[in-house]
Amino acid sequence: CANSSRYVWGMEETRAHLGERGRFSHKGSHGKALLIGGSQEMPGSITLTTKAALRGGSGLVTTGTVPQAIPSIAAHCAEATYLSLNADDRGRIVLQDVDVSGYDALAIGMGMGREQATADFTRKLVSEANIPVLVDADGLHHLKQDMRILTQRRHPLILTPHPGEMAMLTDFEVKDIIRRPFAISRHFAIEYGVYLVLKGSFTIVTDPEGNQWVNTSGNAGLAKGGSGDALSGILLAQVMQQQNIQEALSLGCYIHGMSADQQVTSNHSMHDLTASDVIDGLATVFRTLS
């Protein structure tokens, strides 16, 4: 696409776009997030997303998951509220209606598993939700069953694949994604009219017009299960607090990586860093930036 451009997103851009928390702001000013994911066997990822959405600045966070997972998530996140979803006998979300009115944005997909009834649920909710929606992890596999949902949505859709998930979505091989991340992302974002966050050592945010911003923060300590789940929560919090979705996504990717960078030069190392440490590190990130 001749008219789209590539940019670098770093500390200066992040500082320039990070919103202030005004003296008279209230929880409604910072957005009401709905997070949907988890299953009996995978309660951890949605726990991380919930914590990250809270630490990322959301005004209110509601997590919709299977009843079996709620006690363990709630034990880690006292500040969230919970929506108990219908589950099958193995603790996986099944097809049902969820009312998204009253929420400002939805993130879905983390730790859901790939059961068909769960995939049917994700596809229905993503196609009906009239708010910005972020889809990650298993949710990307669910969407792949019907890619028309991507183009039919009238509200912003954000996909956050790692290279393996991007290969699955596009039918390329992972080595192609690694070799041509810009071209493949741009083509995909334009074709489906979505915001694409292609994760990796240099995460690329592409808007629906094909413009691209490369993130400059982060380190190999993030190459560990759970970092992506934390990113989803951070991104959703920013999507609710920023006017511009691309800026929200680039800012979110930057602060996620910046937290990891600060943690490995202070309390932690790339060896031991966990997603929980990245979430804890947001305190220093926000203090440094503001």
State the Cα–Cα distance between residues 43 and 143, nearest whole angstrom.
21
Task: Give, for 22, the enclosing helix (H) or strand (E).
Answer: none
CA angle 23, 29, 33 (to 5 degrees): 140
Residues 230-249 that bind ligand APR (CB under 6 A): 231
Q: Which residue has the tokens 């190999």?
A: 220
Tokens of 139: 């949710």
Q: How near is the Cβ of 25 to ligand APR at its closest, in Å?
A: 28
User: What are the tokens at 204?
Assistant: 């690329």
Total residues in contact with ligand APR, by rule CB under 6 A? 19
Q: Minimal distance in Å, beta carbon 246 to ligand APR?
A: 17
Among 203, 238, 259, 263, interactor with ligand APR by CB under 6 A: 203
Query: Shortest approach of ligand APR to residue 161 CB, angstroms?
Result: 8
Per rule CB under 6 A, is residue 104 in the interface with ligand APR? no
- Using CB under 6 A as the binding rule, the residues of this chain from 119 to 138 that contact ligand APR are 137
Stretch in the footprint of ligand APR (CB under 6 A) among 183-191, 206-214, 217-225, 233-241 = 217-225
Tokens of 200: 């990796």
Q: Which of 96, 116, 152, 201 binds ligand APR (CB under 6 A)?
A: 201
User: What is residue 87's DSSP assignment?
Assistant: B
Q: Name which position in 167, 169, 222, 236 contacts ligand APR (CB under 6 A).
A: 222
Spatial separation of the C-alpha atoms in residues 19 and 239, rounded to whole Å: 11
CB 92 within 8 A of CB 112: yes
Residue 50 lies near ligand APR (rule: CB under 6 A): no
- Locate 53 and state its tokens: 């959405």
CA nearest neighbour of 67 among 94, 45, 48: 94
Please select the residue that binds ligand APR; options are 57, 139, 226, 281, rule is CB under 6 A: 226
164 contact, one of ligand APR, Mg ion, none, CB 5-8 Å limit per kind: ligand APR
Residue type, 250: S
Site for ligand APR in 160-179 (CB under 6 A): 162, 164
**Backbone dihedral angles phi then psi of residue 65, each to the nearest 5 degrees:** -155, -175
- For the record, the structure tokens of 151 come out as 């183009």
54's contact among ligand APR, Mg ion, none, with CB below 5 to 8 A by partner kind, is none
Closest residue to ligand APR, judged by C-beta, is 228
Residues that bind ligand APR (CB under 6 A): 137, 162, 164, 199-201, 203, 218-220, 222-223, 225-229, 231, 257
